[in-house]
Structure 1
Amino acid sequence: MGNRQPNTSGLLNKAKEKKVKTRQKVEQAIKRMIKYQQNINFNSVSELAGVSKTYLYNNPDLKERIEYLRKQQEGVPDVKQVKRNVSDKSKDIIIAALRKRVKELEEECKELREQAKINYSDIYNKL
């Protein structure tokens, strides 16, 4: 018949190892996301760590940490948001400054052309 006292210690040890490795993958993913200032949420962490979202939700400490980091990031705008929020007034100021610069360069170019004409006429008269 069947073994009444099966030796499951090896199986239990492998399960513990797998649990530790999975947790390390999640921790490394979170650290990497913090380092590179990426958005932290359950989807992004699960994708980067290669674990399911269910795993993250079923581990209360990981769930709490991800929620905390996600809330922390809500108030901090990223670079793309800042660029989008440039107001029309500041755009108008930039446009005005660029137009002024173009006008100055056009005047300088005109003066240089006049000077070149004078120089060419002097050279021609010397021949």
Structure 2
Amino acid sequence: MANYDRTAHLKRIHAQRKASTLKKVDQAIKRLLRANKSINFNSVSEESGVSKASLYNHSDIRERIESLRRQQSQAPTPKQIKREMNDANKDILIETLKRKIKALENENKEIREEMKKAYAQIYEKF
């Protein structure tokens, strides 16, 4: 018992706990990214089982979560992309539909003319 160094033992335990915490947080962030969920302190805490206080106290974890949160806030959501696409393409879509309507009206007119001729031929046979 004379060679037991309590300080070294506590440092080793602390290093193991820190490594375990980093691993849990890293895995949680990967799962959240794969699931396309938002990255913030609450979601990482719930997913990893690590307290929010620990996330805030570890500067490297805190910086990583904050940077991922900023990246996600800057990236447009699928709803925003769809809305922008609809607004940008609205005029083009309207013009395309107008051309299609015009073509269908012309086709309809030609078919009616052909039907008139066909009815005239049938009428002449009687």
Report the alpha carbon displacement of residue 122 of structure 1 after superposing the two structures with TM.
5.0
Gaps of 5+ in 2: 1-12
Query: What residue number does 1:68 align with?
Result: 67
SS class of match (1:85)? helix
Normalised by the length of structure 1, the TM-score is 0.58
Letter in 1 for 2:54: Y
Is residue 34 of structure 1 aligned with residue 58 of structure 2? Answer: no
SS class of match (1:77)? coil
Which aligned pairs between 1:7-26 and structure 2 lie closer than 5 A? 20=20, 23-26=22-25
Report the alpha carbon displacement of residue 119 of structure 1 after superposing the two structures with TM.
4.6
Query: What residue number does 2:93 align with?
Result: 94
* More off after superposition, 45-54 vs 94-103: 45-54
Which aligned pairs between 1:47-86 and structure 2 lie closer than 5 A? 47-86=46-85
1 CA distance for matches of 2:112 and 2:48? 64
Letter in 1 for 2:80: Q
Gaps of 5+ in 1: 1-12
2 CA distance for matches of 1:90 and 1:73? 26
1 CA distance for matches of 2:71 and 2:82? 21
Which structure has more helix as a fraction of its residues? Answer: 2
Query: 1:67 and 1:112, CA in 2 relative to 1: closer, same or farther beyond 3 A?
Result: same
Query: 1:124 and 1:54, CA in 2 relative to 1: closer, same or farther beyond 3 A?
Result: farther
Moved >6 Å (runs of 4+): 123-127
Q: How many residues align?
A: 114
Query: Identity of paired residues, percent?
Result: 50
Normalised by the length of structure 2, the TM-score is 0.59
SS class of match (2:33)? helix
Query: 1:69 and 1:88, CA in 2 relative to 1: closer, same or farther beyond 3 A?
Result: closer
- RMSD over equivalenced CA pairs, Å: 3.8
